Amino acid sequence: MKVSNRKRVLVTGGAGFLGSHLCERLLLEGADVLCIDNLYSGTKDNISHLLPNPHFEFQRHDVTFPIYLEVDEIYNLACPASPVHYQRDPVQTTKTSVHGAINMLGLAKRTGARIFQASTSEVYGDPEVHPQTEEYWGRVNPIGIRSCYDEGKRCAETLFFDYRRQHGLGIKVARIFNTYGPRMHPNDGRVVSNFIMQALRGEDITIYGDGSQTRSFCYVDDLIEGFLRLMNSSDDLTGPVNLGNPVEFTIRELAETILEMVGGTSKLVLRPLPHDDPRQRQPNISLAKEHLDWEPKVPLREGLEKTIAYFRTL
């Protein structure tokens, strides 16, 4: 009987946008992948093409409850990541980040697994430093409507580093900036999916604020490459490491580009800016370049073409 020497990898939130792409990539790398997701914001449609693969397994589970498995690596991605989803049940959002981190760190401690935390650029809040480096501590409102997500992720980072200091755990923390691509939820309220869906339906394209606020958009394949490089890096590189595209665009530029690519008669309409919405968001990725030899390769138009093609199929 041949014993498999495949790495056993757990992906929490594996049926979500990023999680499904990560599961796909890990299978290509020759891993045995266990995907767990409570399907709050993820969907089985994202992973249906992986289910026939004998090295892929899906289990419906909520990370706020412990789970007992034997694994070599854990990627902790579980948490609704768009304002529409995380503000629907803010208490559960905080619990997912905090209890989820505690449960996954406990599993890593018991099994000796290396563990990766999908943190977020939201830990920087509405930043006074531009672009944002990992040394910047952020400017976050602890009691606002976005706080359940921002502070939940900040607390998760705290837990990861305390487990490292207290128990010598092998941790990796990535701070993810705006990412887009196929399998984004069409109604997640994020700017790329919003603009594409509005343009495809021939509706007015809604810009919040005057459109001068900036974002940096990273295509999903580039981000997943960054995940793997960070997870496979040397033990002393714990992070946090910014992963995102340092090329900055205004929201108006993005809207105009999508409108031009989709075609149609949609008009740009301005609406008031939501509370605590950051004015600027751009990663400094010097650390990722130096230690992971990583930077995004896919230009915005090329990534948007693939994303628009996906949304046309829905």
DSSP the chain: -PPP---EEEEETTTSHHHHHHHHHHHHTT-EEEEEE--SS--GGGTTTTTT-TTEEEEE--TTS------SEEEE--S--SHHHHTTSHHHHHHHHHHHHHHHHHHHHHHT-EEEEEEEGGGGBS-SSSSBPTT---B--TTSTTHHHHHHHHHHHHHHHHHHHHH---EEEEEE--EE-TT--TTS--HHHHHHHHHHHTPPEEEETTS--EEE-EEHHHHHHHHHHHHTS-TT----EEES---EEEHHHHHHHHHHHH-S---EEEEPPPTT--S---B--HHHHHHH-----S-HHHHHHHHHHHHHT-
219 is a catalytic site residue: no
Catalytic site residue from 40, 75, 149, 219: 149
Residues with catalytic function: 149
